[in-house]
A and B are shown apart, each in its own frame.
Chain A
Amino acid sequence: MELVQIQRRLVDYTKSLFMEGFLDAQFLQLQQLQDDSNPDFVFEVVSLFFEDFEKLLNELTIALDQPNVDFKKLDSHVHQLKGSSSSIGAQRVKNACIAFRNYCDVQNIEGCLTCLQQVKQECYLVKNKFETLFRLEQQIMASGGSVPTIELGF
């Protein structure tokens, strides 16, 4: 495909992600931090997020499997996840985490389990999205172009 077309595709795709609520303004901030001295900043942060996520997911699953659920520990993990997700602008994940925390506060195991599932799902979804995004960016870079910056109209 032609460079311009790829770029347009990227822009459209990113915009759709925002529209659908997968990403929020924080992601734009991240993109702003990427410059010549830090060319892969966003990619690194996102990769780190997903690494963290895997670990946390493990922890959460183990914690919820216990006969005596340690809600404090659970809360702290979810808190971590919430923090991470909000840092990269994964809005849906963050919202799911918030819901999860609420259930932790009231010590509702069922609710927690449900939320856990939801969080998992959202995470994998946004992971896919990110992968597509990065692929497109790579294509653009390979063709010698530059990644266009998104300006949010809203």
Chain B
Amino acid sequence: MESCNCIEPQWPPDDLLMKYQYISDFFIALAYFSIPLELIYFVKKSAVFPYRWVLVQFGAFIVLCGATHLINLWTFTVHSRTVASVMTTAKVLTAAVSCITALMLVHIIPDLLSVKTRELFLKNKAAELDREMGLIRTQEETGRHVRMLTHEIRSTLDRHTILKTTLVELGRTLALEECALWMPTRTGLELQLSYTLRQQNPVGYTVPIHHPVINQVFSSNRAVKISPNCPVARLRPAGKYMPGEVVAVRVPLLHLSNFHINDWPELSTKRYALMVLMLPSDSARQWHVHELELVEVVADQVAVALSHAAILEESMRARDLLMEQNVALDLARREAETAIRARNDFLAVMNHEMRTPMHAIIALSSLLQETELTPEQRLMVETILKSSNLLATLINDVLDLSRLEDGSLQLDLGTFNLYAVFREVLNLIKPIASVKKLHVSLNLAPDLPEYAIGDEKRLMQTILNIVGNAVKFSKEGSISITAFVAKLDTLRDSKAPEFLPVLSDNHFYLRVQVKDSGSGINPLDIPKLFTKFAQNQSTGTRNSGGSGLGLAICKRFVNLMEGHIWIESEGLGKGCTAILIVKLGMAERVNESKLPYMPKMPTNHGQTAFPGLKVLVMDENGVSRMVTKGLLLHLGCDVTMVGSSDECLRLVSHEHKVVFMDICVPGIDSYGITIRIHEKFTKRHERPLLVALTGNTDKVKKENCMRAGMDGLILKPVSLDKMRSVLTDLLEHRVFFEAI
């Protein structure tokens, strides 16, 4: 084999260069093989690298380059064709891959660069967040401090504790050197140092309130930095230290009346206290915004807490006052109750004790009157009787009045005959009036109902009292009594605005006017008339002998009857008019169960018209007695028969409504019996009606009967119808004199 010209000696003459090339290639190949390995290794390690494909390419490219260089090593010596072809393949592949890689890198490198930019951006963001985080934390811490401070401040309602706590907590939170509170004095012209943090007992420094710095602080609701040289800030002896920064804030002192939590800025009273806070000197600390905010919030809270404390103090004071008053009232009430009880006991005892002897005196005196007495003795007994009657009336009046005042008196309501009341009053007053030669007239309006519901006894007592007064105080002239149903316009009296009559369907107002022509009353004295025990002194006549209670009692009765009573007079000597208005109930159609007397017309013959009417028949003649009894029995009466006047007097009682007396027998002294019966029954409504039966048509006898006090006279013989009509008339009108 011919050696080709290209056979290179194993070691050519430039083998140093060759040697270096050889070594370099070797190392390049090594590097080229190790780089992808490293890449693969590290890429496998990091999961996030996004460009794997690129790396594979790169790796391939590098491997191939390395392979190329490696194969190059063989080309230094004589090499076979295979080596050459391998070399060529490798080079071709390498070329391909490198071209592709180059192309790929055009896309990739900008991306990779942008990653860097993003990283920078994120770092910036992170730094910013960190900063903000720091701020928030600071704020939150400040908030915590505020809450804690507020809690401490508001946990007590004691003013001193509040303020002390504020200063202590503020000092702790903000690490202050000194914290002081200046309160305005009472005059409002100065600020006085009230509380400090470090100094235990602050001396009473005062600073005038109208300092420009202070005004500046007061005019703003924010914490204001002030100069340490300001008088309020000069709390410590000036040392060689650099004083720390000072901040002052106003604390509004609220009045109770304008305590509105939403109205902080608009305070009508401009009373402020001043809180001064000093940072430690020589600390080079500055007031931060959040610290200032904290101070402002605390100042507000302190204001609220102080107001609450003030409110509490006020209410405690008020409560104490009320308790005292309560105790006092209780005591007064118990005393009053004791007094009332004592009075009631006294009345109860007196009621019985006074009346018993009175009854004894009156009863025995009247019995004494019946016996044989010399004229002087009779006069004396009469005087005793009169005086004791007067005394009894007085006692009754006083006791009644006490009961009335007590409110324990109640009206006895019942249906009664109104006309009868007036007639009764008239009858009672007529004797006295005729003695004094006074003319009494009664005028009942036609629309006045005959029956009414009310307290008959007390109404009569009242009307009698008024009429009695009229008679008492009139020396001459006339007395007129009018009664009618009052209409609404006449019910008003300008002097009694509290009297408000109310008209209702089943009530009516009875108005009674008693006019006399007597001595009259001075209009100025009129209000006093109705007061207890007040007598009209100016009349001069003291023989009235009354207690002065009469009108007072009348007024009480009238008030109980929901009415009104007053007196009008034009003056002395001009007479006076007493007017009384009372409320009475309207009586429905009178029916049997209500009234004791029933003037019902018998509807058919033989019916009993007077069931249960108790009558007494006195007749010496047996036959006629029997006939009369039969008559009355037939009419349903309950008949008691007596045959003599003694028996009659013995048996007659207030239960008998009518007594029929046969007076035509000469042996009977009808006059005497009548008188005796009148004496026996002093009260008019208890006395039975006395009717004389006679066969005589003797006018003289009739007059005698009337004068003796008989209520009726009937001529014998009496038929059934006649008896019926007589009884009817009698019971209705209480009088029946047959025309002779």
| Chain A contacts to B: CB under 8 angstroms | 25-26, 29-30, 32-33, 35, 37-38, 41, 44-45, 48-49, 52, 72, 75-76, 79-80, 82-84, 86-88
Partner pick for B621 among A25, A30, A80, CB 8 A cutoff: A80
Report yes or no: B606 in contact with A35, Cβ–Cβ below 8 A: yes
Given contacts A32-B720, A87-B626, A87-B717, 12 further A-B contacts (CB under 8 A): A29-B631, A33-B633, A38-B634, A41-B630, A45-B630, A48-B622, A49-B623, A52-B622, A79-B665, A83-B621, A83-B662, A87-B627
Known: A29-B717, A44-B626, A45-B626. A80 touches B620 (CB 8 A): yes
A29 touches B719 (CB 8 A): yes
Contact B634 A33 (CB under 8 A): yes
> Does B239 touch A at the CB level, under 8 Å?
no
In the bound assembly, the distance between CA atoms of A38 and B624 in angstroms comes to 17
Chain A residues contacting B623 (CB-CB under 8 Å) are 45, 48-49, 52, 83-84, 87-88
Residues in B655-669 with C-beta less than 8 Å from chain A: 662, 664-667
30 A-B interface contacts by CB (under 8 A): A25-B719, A26-B717, A29-B719, A29-B720, A32-B606, A32-B720, A33-B631, A33-B633, A33-B634, A33-B720, A35-B634, A38-B633, A44-B626, A45-B627, A45-B630, A48-B623, A76-B666, A76-B667, A79-B664, A80-B620, A80-B665, A82-B695, A83-B624, A83-B716, A84-B621, A84-B622, A84-B623, A86-B717, A87-B623, A88-B627
Q: Assess the A76–B631 pair: CB atoms within 8 A.
A: no
Contacts of B665 in A (CB 8 A): 76, 79-80, 83
What's the nearest-Cβ distance from chain A to residue B727, in Å?
A: 15
**Total A-B pairs, Cβ < 8 A:** 74
Instruction: Kindly state the separation between the CA atoms of A25 and B719 in the bound complex, as whole angstroms.
Output: 9
Chain A residue at minimum C-beta to C-beta distance from B634: A33
* Neighbour of A86 across the interface among B622, B633, B695, CB < 8 A: B695
Task: Tell me, rounded to whole Å, the shortest Cβ–Cβ distance linking B664 to chain A.
Answer: 7
Name the interface residues of B103-130: CB closer than 8 Å to any CB of A: none
> How big is chain B's contact interface, by range?
20 to 34
Nearest A residue to B632 via CB reads A33
When C-beta atoms are compared, the residue in chain A nearest to B621 turns out to be A83
What residues of A have a CB within 8 angstroms of the CB of B606 in the complex? 32, 35
Closest to B666 in A: A76
In the complex, the chain A residue whose C-beta lies closest to that of B635 is A33
Report the nearest A residue to B623, measured CB to CB.
A84
B288 → chain A closest CB, angstroms: 125
Distance between B421 CB and nearest chain A CB, rounded to angstroms: 38
Please name the residue on chain B nearest to A50 by beta carbon.
B623
Query: Which residues of A sit under 8 angstroms from B624, Cβ to Cβ?
Result: 83-84, 86-87
A86 and B630 within 8 A (CB): no
B427: shortest Cβ distance to chain A, in Å?
A: 34
Q: Check A79 against B666 for contact (C-beta < 8 Å).
A: yes
What is the bound-complex CA distance between A52 and B631, given in angstroms?
A: 20
- Which residue of chain A has the shortest Cβ distance to B605 in the bound complex? A32
Give the chain A neighbours of B633 by CB distance below 8 A.
33, 37-38
| Identity of the chain A residue whose Cβ is nearest the Cβ of B619 in the assembled complex | A83
Chain A to chain B: the 6 pairs with minimum beta-carbon distance, closest first? A84-B623, A87-B624, A87-B627, A33-B630, A83-B621, A33-B634
Measured in the bound complex, the distance between the Cα atoms of B608 and A151 in whole Å is: 22
Minimum Cβ distance to chain B for residue A23 (Å): 13
**Contact residues in B for A25 (Cβ distance below 8 Å):** 719
Q: A49: which B residues are within 8 A, CB to CB?
A: 623
For B720, list chain A residues within 8 Å (CB): 29, 32-33
Q: Point out the residues of chain A lying under 8 angstroms from B627, CB to CB.
A: 30, 33, 45, 87-88
Chain B residue contacts of A52, Cβ below 8 A? 621-623
Report the nearest A residue to B718, measured CB to CB: A29
Mask for B116-148, Cβ within 8 A of A = 1, else 0? 000000000000000000000000000000000
